[in-house]
């Protein structure tokens, strides 16, 4: 009998860890397996987002449906991101991971200018509008591609007769072809995961983890509460379906997010699981998920908030209520603006630091350097939280749109 994909992946993960622990640095020989898998996933992202959002918006039919779906999608994304941030806020105030931390770990060679070029929130919003959509696609600029695809899809809905039919069919067919390619790539998942996990374990320095132990514990706890308690509750509240079904259906995508640390690279797998395992319609999947992968990052939002309060605590600042409120808002915006790639959340932390006036503090840059050094496991986990929230959103919205054939095999 053939083993189910999620078991294959779990076994690949375990083997990857064991292999890296035994072989040490030598485990890096299998790193190319992970690299090849990542490249295959990345290869598909730009055309997938272009075809799926354009066909998604075009098949919504009219601006009323588009408005309704848009409102639900953004409403859900806002709700879950803010609740994640509040969890981060409460935990950092409770555990106080930064109090008493002295960071002079000699990570030294860190150059903060590498991190701080995120350009501010307004800049992100303005840059969302591509001056040249082809260039946006060539550069893989997701927000711009989404903006263009929504505009294009909307344009198609305004056409009549044959032209409308031709373009809608073209983009629907293109989207289906992308999903077929994705399905092919997914067969390689266990091999890719093995390569990625071996590399992550083999190249981690364990000593540093101890210096910022409580910080890591805080983030892990927050992410765990969010993904395994709060999100399932929200899911159950709106659908009355057992959340375990959802986790089982999404296991391959969750494992891919965990091993790639990139919601963008995971998007094809997320879409495949939501469409084929959860049973959400093509129309909902293709609208909700590409948007979600780019702007809905609960794990990252929680991390931005907790990370900045940790830094403030380590620098000996006591943040006022008003400052913490500013952190909640900017953490949300930073998570929306963060790219769906590894460690993007850490880059955005400077935006939140700036908002409370700590951006220029030399100590802050040093601490961010240390956070960077231990970021990998946190990034893996928050990416998994990010895509889980997207997929729960897709299921909730599908249910609310009257889709009934969900979780048939789970």
**Under the rule (CB under 6 A), what is the footprint of ligand ASP?**
261-263, 297, 300, 303, 338, 340-345, 379, 382-383, 386
CB atoms within 10 A of CB 409: 10
CB of 264 to ligand ASP, least distance (A): 6
Instruction: Decide whether 110 or 238 has the Cβ nearer to ligand ASP.
Output: 110
We find the least distance from the C-beta atom of residue 164 to ligand ASP, in angstroms, to be: 35
Query: What whole-number distance in Å separates Cα of residue 358 and Cα of residue 387?
Result: 30
Q: CA 374 from chain center: how many Å?
A: 18
Q: CB-wise, 89 or 297, nearer to ligand ASP?
A: 297
- Nearest distance in Å: CB 262, ligand ASP: 4
Taking Cα atoms as reference points, which of 257, 330, 259 lies closest to residue 292? 257
Structure tokens at 142: 């997701």
The minimum distance between CB 21 and ligand ASP, in angstroms, equals 24
How far is it, in rounded angstroms, from Cα 5 to Cα 49? 25
CA distance 65 to 63: 6
- We find the least distance from the C-beta atom of residue 371 to ligand ASP, in angstroms, to be 11
> In angstroms, rounded to a whole number, what is the distance separating the alpha carbons of residues 122 and 136?
18
Of 330 and 383, which has the nearer Cβ to ligand ASP? 383
Nearer to ligand ASP, 286 or 343 (CB): 343
* 247 vs 303 by CB, closer to ligand ASP: 303
- Cβ closer to ligand ASP: 279 or 345? 345
Cβ 304 to ligand ASP shortest distance, Å: 8
Residues 6+ apart with CB under 8 A from 309: 88, 89, 92, 93, 98, 319, 324, 327
* Spatial separation of the C-alpha atoms in residues 306 and 311, rounded to whole Å: 9
Rounded to an integer, what distance in angstroms lies between the CA atom of residue 364 and that of residue 404? 50
Torsion of CA 236, 238, 239, 242, to 10 degrees: 0
Residue whose CB is less far from ligand ASP, 66 or 185: 185
Give the shortest CB-307-to-ligand ASP separation in angstroms.
10
CA distance linking residue 393 with residue 80, whole number of Å: 9
If the CB atoms of residues 392 and 406 are measured against ligand ASP, the closer one turns out to be 392
Nearest to 76 by CA among 391, 409, 337, 344: 391
What CA–CA distance (Å, rounded) separates 276 from 260? Answer: 21
Q: State the residue number with the nearest CB to ligand ASP.
A: 345
In the bound complex, what is the minimum distance in angstroms from residue 354's beta carbon to ligand ASP?
A: 18
């Amino acid at each position: 009998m053939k083993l189910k994909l999620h078991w294959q992946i779990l076994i690949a993960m375990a083997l990857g860890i064991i292999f890296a622990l035994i072989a040490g640095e030598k485990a890096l020989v299998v790193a190319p397996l992970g690299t090849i898998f990542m490249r295959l996933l990345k290869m598909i992202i730009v055309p997938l987002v272009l075809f799926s959002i354009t066909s998604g918006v075009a098949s919504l039919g009219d601006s009323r449906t588009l408005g309704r779906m848009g409102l639900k999608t953004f409403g859900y994304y806002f709700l879950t991101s803010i609740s994640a941030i509040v969890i981060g806020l409460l935990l950092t105030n409770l555990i106080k991971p930064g109090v008493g931390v002295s960071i002079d770990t000699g990570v030294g060679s860190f150059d903060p200018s590498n991190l701080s070029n995120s350009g501010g929130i307004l800049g992100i919003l303005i840059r969302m509008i591509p001056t040249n959509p082809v260039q946006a696609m060539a550069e893989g600029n997701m927000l711009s591609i989404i903006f263009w695809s929504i505009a294009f899809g909307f344009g198609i809905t305004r056409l009549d007769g044959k032209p409308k039919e031709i373009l809608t069919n073209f983009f629907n067919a293109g989207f289906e072809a992308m999903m077929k390619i994705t399905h092919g790539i997914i067969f390689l998942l266990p091999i890719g995961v093995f390569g990625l996990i071996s590399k992550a374990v083999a190249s981690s320095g364990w000593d540093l983890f101890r210096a910022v132990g409580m910080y890591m514990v805080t983030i892990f706890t927050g992410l765990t509460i969010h993904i395994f308690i709060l999100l399932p509750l929200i899911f159950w509240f709106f659908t009355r379906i057992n959340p375990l079904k959802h986790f089982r259906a999404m296991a391959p995508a969750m494992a891919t997010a965990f091993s790639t640390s990139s919601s963008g690279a995971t998007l094809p797998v997320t879409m495949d699981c939501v469409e084929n395992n959860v049973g959400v319609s093509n129309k909902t999947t293709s609208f909700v998920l590409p948007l979600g992968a780019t702007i809905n990052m609960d794990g990252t939002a929680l991390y931005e908030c907790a990370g900045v309060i940790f830094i403030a605590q380590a620098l000996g600042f006591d943040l006022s209520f008003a400052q913490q409120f500013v952190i909640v808002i900017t953490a949300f915006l930073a998570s929306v603006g963060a790219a769906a790639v590894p460690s993007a959340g850490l880059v955005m932390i400077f935006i939140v630091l700036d908002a409370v006036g700590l951006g220029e503090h030399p100590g802050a840059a040093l601490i961010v350097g240390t956070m960077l050094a231990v970021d990998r496991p946190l990034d893996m986990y928050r990416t998994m939280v990010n895509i889980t929230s997207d997929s729960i959103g897709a299921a909730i919205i599908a249910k609310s749109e009257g889709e009934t054939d969900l979780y048939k095999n789970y």
